[in-house]
Amino acid sequence: MALIISVVAAVQLYLPLGSLFWERNASLAEAHQHGRIAMEELSHELQYAYRVNFEQQRRVLTYYKRVEGELRRYRIYLLGRQLLLDLPTGTAVPLAGWIEDFWAEPAGELGARELLYLRVIVAQGEQRLKLQKAVSPRNVGKEW
C-alpha cells in the first residue's frame, strides 16, 4: 500500500508538467504548420512568375503570371496576422495565419536568375518561429 501511495504521489507531482509540456509542443507544432503552409504557398505561387517586385516599406510582394495567354497581377501582403493573396479578380484569399512578419530580399524588382529570399515569422502565444526559404522564379527576365 505504501508503494502504491508513493507512486501515485510521484505521478501527481509530474502530471502538471507533462500537461504543460504537451500544450507547449502542440502549440509549437501548429505554429510550424502555419509557417510551412505559408512557405509552400509562397514558393508555389512564385515558381512561374514573370516579374517579381517586393516593396519593403509596405511588405507587399507583387508578381505577374501568365494565365490564358496574358499576364495577370498577383499580390501577397500581410494584413493583421494573415498572409493574403490578392487575385487578379480583386478577391483576396488567406494563405496562412499567425504570421507576425513577412519579408523578401532583394527589395525592388527581381532580376533574371536571381534568388528571392523569403522569411516568415510565425507567432502564437510564447511560440515564435522564423522560417526562411530561397525561390528562383523560372520565368523572370523572359519575354512577357
pLDDT digits (tens, 9 = 90+) for 16-75: 766 677 777 888 888 899 999 999 999 999 999 999 999 999 999 999 999 999 999 999
Dihedral, CA atoms, 10, 14, 15, 16, nearest 10 degrees?
Answer: 140
CA dist., res. 12 & res. 118, Å (int): 46
pTM (2 d.p.): 0.83
Short-list 85, 142, 139, 137, CA closest to 116:
137
Of the pLDDT bands very low, low, confident and very high (cuts 50, 70, 90), residue 13 is: confident
What average pLDDT does the segment 66-85 reach?
A: 95
Q: How many C-beta neighbours within 10 Å does residue 49 have?
A: 23
Coil, helix or strand at residue 76: strand
pLDDT digits (tens, 9 = 90+) for 34-49: 999 999 999 999 999 9
Identify the residue whose cell numbers are 510564447. Answer: 126
Specify the pLDDT at position 8: 76
